[in-house]
C-alpha cells in the first residue's frame, strides 16, 4: 500500500445504504450536533513530498523578500488572553458573548477593532506591487427600538498602523475620519444608517436620503461610489453578510452585501492605494459611531486574505489569511495561516524558520484512526460515487463527537490532482452556505481533512425521499437563495474564481433550520478572473446536471456551473428528477427530460403547470414563477446568454426586478 491523503467531502451513501447510514448516525451523535467527515485519497509520493511548511529569510539578508508574515493559532475570545489577539481602540469596543461589540448602545459613541498586526499592502522595497485582497464578514446593526431612527453606521477600513481612533470622529464620521477637511490616508467601506445634511462639509451624498453603502477615500465627503434605492432601515434589520474584493491589477474594489431579507446589493469603484496615501504595512479592521441616536454595531465573523503576485524573477506566492469565526455562546477564533507556493533561492546568510500549514484544528493521525476503529468493516455506513463511508467517534470535547470517514477507491490521475487543489482551497473558504472545514491531520504517510457534515440530510433526500415529509415552498425558496449565495461566493467572493463543477441536489446539505450548505468540493477548480473556459476538465460531473457544451467540447466555465444551478432550480420548483432519454433511435443525442419539459411549458404559455403537483397550489405564485424563469435563463444552450450568478441571485431575491428575455443577457 502506498501513501494516501485524505480530502474533505461530504459523506455519501449508496442507494441502498441510506437507512443504515441515518440509523448509525443517530445512535452515535447528539441531537442537533454537526457531524464530521474524513476521506482518504491515494496520492503519488511526489505529491506528498511537496512542502507543507514555509522557509522564509529574515531581514538580515538584503535579498530577503519584504512580505508580512502572520501566523496564529485558534483563539477563543471568551478568554481574556485570547481577546488580546485583536486590537481595541477604546472602552467602547469589546468582545461580547456572541460577537465583538464595536460601540456601546449610547449616543456619541465611537469604536474601532482591528487585527493586532500590520498587513503588507504593497511592497516598497523590491517590486512596488500592491496586494489583492478579499474579505468576508457578517455583522449586525441594531437600533434601540424600531420607532427610532438609526445612527450613524459602521465601516470596514484600511489605514495607518497602529489603527488609533481618529479624534472627533463620532456621528457621521463613523470612526473613520476626523472632522477636519484634511485628506487622511484611509480607505473605508461605509454601511451608513443615517443620512446627514450638509454641515459646511458634504457628509453624505446629496441625491439620496436613506441607508447606503459607500466607498470612501481620504475623507467622509469623498464617497466615490455608493448605492441608491436602499429602503429606510435596510441596514439595521438583522444579520448581514458582506464581501469585499480588491484586484490590484485593475485597482477595482467590489463590495457585495446580502441583507437580512436575502436581497443582495453591490457597489464598486477604482481605488489606488498608493495615491490614497496608504502605507506599505497597513491596519485592517472595523469602526463604527453613533450620533444623537442610539444603535449597536456587532461583528459576528470575519475572514481576510491578501496576496501580492510574484514578480517574474521570483516564483514566490505568499498568502496571509485571517479568520474570526463566531459561535452562539462566544465569538470563537482568530486563525491566520500563511500558505507558500513554489520555490525560491535563499541567500547564504539568511536565517530561515518554519511555519506549519495550519488553517484549522490539527488532529493526530492516531486520533482519527482510533475514531474509525482503523476503518473497520463494522463501522462502514455505505458507499458513494468515489468510495466508502465509515462512522467514527472523536474524544475531543471541543469538537463534535461523531465523524464520518470516506475512503476513496476509484480515482483517475486528474482526480488526484483535483484533490490536491481541494486541500489548498477548502481551508481558505468561509461562508455560511458552504460546508465548513474544521480541521486536518498529517501522519502515517497520510493527509486528512476534517469537515462539517450537516445532520439534516441532503436536499435530494428531502425532495425525493419517500420517508421524508413533503418539503414546503417557504423552505424550498430559502434553499434556493442559500445555494445561490454559496455559488456567488465561489464565483465572485474569493481572490480567484472557483468552479464547483458538480452542483446537484445530493450535494446540498440542510441544517435543522433548512439553511442550505453546498458541499462535495472534490471537483472544484480555481481559475484566474480573466481566464475563460478550461479544457479537459468537464467530464467528471453528473450528466443530467451537466452543461451540454461540456459534453460536446469538454470545456468548463462559470457558465457551466450556472447551467447546473438552472437544472437544480427547475428540479426544486417542479419536484421532478432530471433524466436523460435518447431523442432518436440508433444513436440520437441525449435530451434532459426536465429541461425540455420546461421549455415546452414556456412555449405553450403554461409556466405554472411545472409547479410541483404535491404542493397542491400552496406556494407563492410570484416566487414560483421567478424560480422557474431564472432556471430557464440558466439552461440556455448558448453560454453567453446565461446570467452570471450575481445576476441570478439578484433576480431571485428581488421580485421587482424585470426578468430578461431568453437570449437577451
- Domain membership flag for residue 149: yes
Annotated catalytic residue 502: yes
Q: Do both 443 and 390 map to the same domain?
A: yes
The rounded distance, in Å, linking the Cα atoms of 503 and 487 is: 9
DSSP calls for 183-205:
--S-EEEEEE-S----SSS--S-
The model's pTM is 0.52
Prior bond of 162 cis (ω within 30°): yes
Q: Do both 287 and 375 map to the same domain?
A: no
Least confident range from 38-47, 252-261, 296-305, 430-439: namely 38-47
The 3-state secondary structure of 330-374 reads CEEEEEEEEEEECCCCCCCCCCEEEEECCCCEECCHHHHHHHCCC
Number of domains present in the structure of the chain: 3
Backbone angles phi, psi at 109, to 5 degrees: -105, 135
Residues 6 or more apart in contact with residue 497 via CB below 8 angstroms: 490, 491, 526, 527, 528, 529, 531, 558
The rounded distance, in Å, linking the Cα atoms of 300 and 179 is: 29
Last-in-domain residue among 306, 335, 353:
306
- Domain membership flag for residue 24: yes
- Domain membership flag for residue 356: no
The chain-wide mean pLDDT, for the chain, equals 71
* All three cell numbers of 251: 485597482
Q: Do both 284 and 184 map to the same domain?
A: yes
Most confident of 34-38, 263-267, 492-496, 571-575: 571-575
Q: Residue 420: helix, strand or coil by DSSP?
A: helix
Q: Do both 510 and 608 map to the same domain?
A: yes
The rounded distance, in Å, linking the Cα atoms of 257 and 443 is: 41
The rounded distance, in Å, linking the Cα atoms of 418 and 9 is: 12
Which residue's C-alpha cell is 420517508? 467
- Domain membership flag for residue 333: no
The CATH number covering residue 148 comes to 2.60.120.200
- Domain membership flag for residue 617: yes
Which residue's C-alpha cell is 435530494? 460
Q: Do both 372 and 473 map to the same domain?
A: no
More confident residue, 91 or 327: 91
* All three cell numbers of 210: 436613506
Length of the chain: 665
Q: Do both 535 and 415 map to the same domain?
A: no
* All three cell numbers of 40: 482518504
* All three cell numbers of 99: 460577537
The CATH number covering residue 382 comes to 3.30.200.20
- Domain membership flag for residue 317: no
Least confident range from 292-301, 399-408, 484-493: namely 399-408
Backbone angles phi, psi at 437, to 5 degrees: -75, 130
Q: Do both 494 and 615 map to the same domain?
A: yes
pLDDT tens profile 425-440: 666 677 889 877 766 6
The CATH number covering residue 580 comes to 1.10.510.10
Q: Do both 139 and 245 map to the same domain?
A: yes
Binding site: which residues?
Answer: 407
Q: Which domain holds residue 487?
A: 459-653
The rounded distance, in Å, linking the Cα atoms of 3 and 52 is: 16
Strand partners, 115: 86
- Domain membership flag for residue 296: yes
Q: Do both 176 and 32 map to the same domain?
A: no
The answer to whether the CB of 248 falls within 8 A of the CB of 130 is yes
Last-in-domain residue among 263, 287, 306:
306
More confident residue, 255 or 417: 255
Last-in-domain residue among 436, 453, 470:
453
Look at residue 129 and tell me whether its pLDDT is greater than 60: yes
More confident residue, 75 or 139: 139
pLDDT tens profile 623-665: 999 999 999 999 999 999 999 999 999 999 999 999 998 876 5
Most confident of 354-368, 378-392, 496-510, 607-621: 607-621
Which residue's C-alpha cell is 441570478? 648
- Domain membership flag for residue 73: no
Least confident range from 1-10, 75-84, 141-150, 249-258: namely 1-10
Q: Do both 437 and 521 map to the same domain?
A: no
Section 540-568 average pLDDT: 85
Look at residue 201 and tell me whether its pLDDT is greater than 80: no
Binding site for ATP: which residues?
Answer: 407
Q: Do both 496 and 565 map to the same domain?
A: yes
Q: Do both 143 and 104 map to the same domain?
A: yes
- Identify the active-site residue in 204, 502, 533, 561: 502
The CA angle 15-524-302, to the nearest 5 degrees, is 110
The answer to whether the CB of 513 falls within 8 A of the CB of 546 is no
Least confident range from 26-30, 86-90, 632-636: namely 26-30
The answer to whether the CB of 11 falls within 8 A of the CB of 406 is yes
At 238 the pLDDT is: 79
Q: Residue 147: helix, strand or coil by DSSP?
A: coil
Burial of 352 per CB tally in 10 Å (0-12, 13-18, 19+): exposed
The percent of the chain in helix, strand and coil, each rounded to the nearest 5, is: 20, 30, 45
Going by pLDDT thresholds of 50, 70 and 90, the confidence category of residue 449 is low
Amino acid at each position: 500500500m502506498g501513501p494516501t491523503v485524505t480530502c474533505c467531502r461530504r459523506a455519501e451513501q449508496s442507494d441502498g445504504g441510506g437507512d443504515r447510514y441515518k440509523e448509525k448516525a443517530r445512535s452515535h451523535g447528539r441531537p442537533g450536533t454537526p457531524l464530521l467527515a474524513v476521506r482518504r485519497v491515494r496520492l503519488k509520493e511526489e505529491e506528498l513530498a511537496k512542502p507543507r511548511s514555509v522557509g522564509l529569510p529574515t531581514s538580515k539578508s538584503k535579498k530577503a523578500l519584504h512580505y508580512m508574515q502572520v501566523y496564529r493559532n485558534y483563539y477563543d475570545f471568551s478568554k481574556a488572553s485570547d481577546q488580546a489577539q485583536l486590537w481595541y481602540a477604546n472602552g467602547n469596543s469589546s468582545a461580547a458573548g456572541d460577537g465583538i461589540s464595536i460601540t456601546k448602545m449610547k449616543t456619541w459613541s465611537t469604536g474601532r477593532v482591528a487585527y493586532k498586526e500590520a498587513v503588507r499592502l504593497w511592497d516598497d522595497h523590491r517590486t512596488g506591487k500592491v496586494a489583492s485582497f478579499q474579505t468576508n464578514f457578517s455583522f449586525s446593526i441594531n437600533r434601540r427600538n424600531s420607532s427610532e431612527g438609526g445612527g450613524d453606521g459602521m465601516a470596514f477600513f484600511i489605514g495607518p498602523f497602529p489603527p488609533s481612533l481618529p479624534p472627533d470622529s463620532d456621528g457621521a464620521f463613523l470612526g473613520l475620519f476626523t472632522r477636519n477637511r484634511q485628506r487622511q490616508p484611509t480607505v473605508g467601506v461605509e454601511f451608513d444608517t443615517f443620512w446627514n445634511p450638509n454641515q459646511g462639509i458634504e457628509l453624505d451624498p446629496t441625491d439620496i436620503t436613506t441607508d447606503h453603502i459607500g466607498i470612501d477615500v481620504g475623507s467622509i465627503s469623498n464617497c466615490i461610489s455608493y448605492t441608491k434605492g436602499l429602503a429606510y432601515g435596510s441596514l439595521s434589520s438583522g444579520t448581514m453578510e458582506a464581501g469585499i474584493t480588491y484586484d490590484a491589477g485593475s485597482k477595482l474594489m467590489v463590495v457585495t452585501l446580502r441583507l437580512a431579507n436575502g436581497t443582495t446589493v453591490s457597489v464598486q469603484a477604482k481605488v489606488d492605494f498608493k495615491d490614497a496615501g496608504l502605507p506599505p504595512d497597513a491596519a485592517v479592521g472595523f469602526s463604527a459611531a453613533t450620533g444623537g441616536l442610539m444603535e449597536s454595531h456587532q461583528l459576528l465573523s470575519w475572514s481576510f486574505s491578501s496576496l501580492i503576485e510574484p514578480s517574474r524573477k521570483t516564483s514566490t506566492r505568499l498568502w496571509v489569511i485571517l479568520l474570526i469565526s463566531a459561535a452562539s455562546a462566544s465569538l470563537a477564533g482568530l486563525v491566520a495561516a500563511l500558505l507558500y507556493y513554489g520555490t525560491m533561492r535563499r541567500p547564504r546568510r539568511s536565517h530561515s524558520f518554519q511555519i506549519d500549514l495550519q488553517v484549522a484544528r490539527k488532529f493526530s493521525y492516531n486520533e482519527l484512526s482510533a475514531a474509525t476503529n482503523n476503518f473497520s468493516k463494522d463501522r462502514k455506513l455505505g458507499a458513494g460515487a468515489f468510495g466508502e463511508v465509515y462512522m467514527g467517534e472523536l474524544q475531543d470535547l471541543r469538537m463534535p463527537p461523531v465523524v464520518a470517514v470516506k475512503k476513496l477507491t476509484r480515482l483517475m490521475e486528474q482526480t488526484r490532482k483535483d484533490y490536491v487543489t481541494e486541500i489548498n482551497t477548502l481551508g481558505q473558504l468561509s461562508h455560511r452556505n458552504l460546508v465548513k472545514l474544521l480541521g486536518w491531520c498529517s501522519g502515517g504517510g497520510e493527509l486528512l481533512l476534517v469537515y462539517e457534515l450537516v445532520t439534516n440530510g441532503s436536499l435530494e433526500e428531502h425532495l425525493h425521499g419517500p420517508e421524508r415529509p413533503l418539503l414546503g415552498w417557504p423552505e424550498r425558496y430559502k434553499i434556493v437563495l442559500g445555494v445561490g449565495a454559496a455559488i456567488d461566493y465561489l464565483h465572485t467572493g474569493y481572490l480567484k474564481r472557483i468552479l464547483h463543477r458538480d452542483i446537484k441536489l445530493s450535494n446540498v446539505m440542510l441544517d435543522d433550520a433548512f439553511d442550505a450548505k453546498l458541499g462535495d468540493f472534490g471537483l472544484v477548480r480555481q481559475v484566474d478572473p480573466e481566464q475563460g473556459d478550461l479544457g479537459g476538465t468537464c467530464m467528471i460531473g453528473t450528466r443530467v446536471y451537466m452543461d451540454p457544451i461540456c459534453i460536446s467540447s469538454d470545456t468548463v466555465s462559470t457558465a457551466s456551473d450556472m447551467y447546473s444551478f438552472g437544472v437544480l432550480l427547475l428540479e426544486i420548483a417542479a419536484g421532478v428528477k432530471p433524466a436523460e432519454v435518447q431523442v432518436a433511435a440508433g444513436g440520437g443525442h441525449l435530451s434532459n427530460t426536465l429541461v425540455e419539459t420546461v421549455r415546452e411549458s414556456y412555449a405553450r404559455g403554461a409556466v405554472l403547470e411545472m409547479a410541483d403537483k404535491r404542493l397542491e397550489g400552496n406556494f407563492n405564485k410570484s416566487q414560483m414563477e421567478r424560480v422557474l424563469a431564472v432556471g430557464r435563463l440558466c439552461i440556455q444552450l448558448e453560454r453567453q446568454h446565461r446570467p452570471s450568478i450575481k445576476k441570478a441571485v439578484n433576480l431571485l431575491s428581488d421580485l421587482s426586478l424585470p426578468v430578461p428575455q431568453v437570449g437577451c443577457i
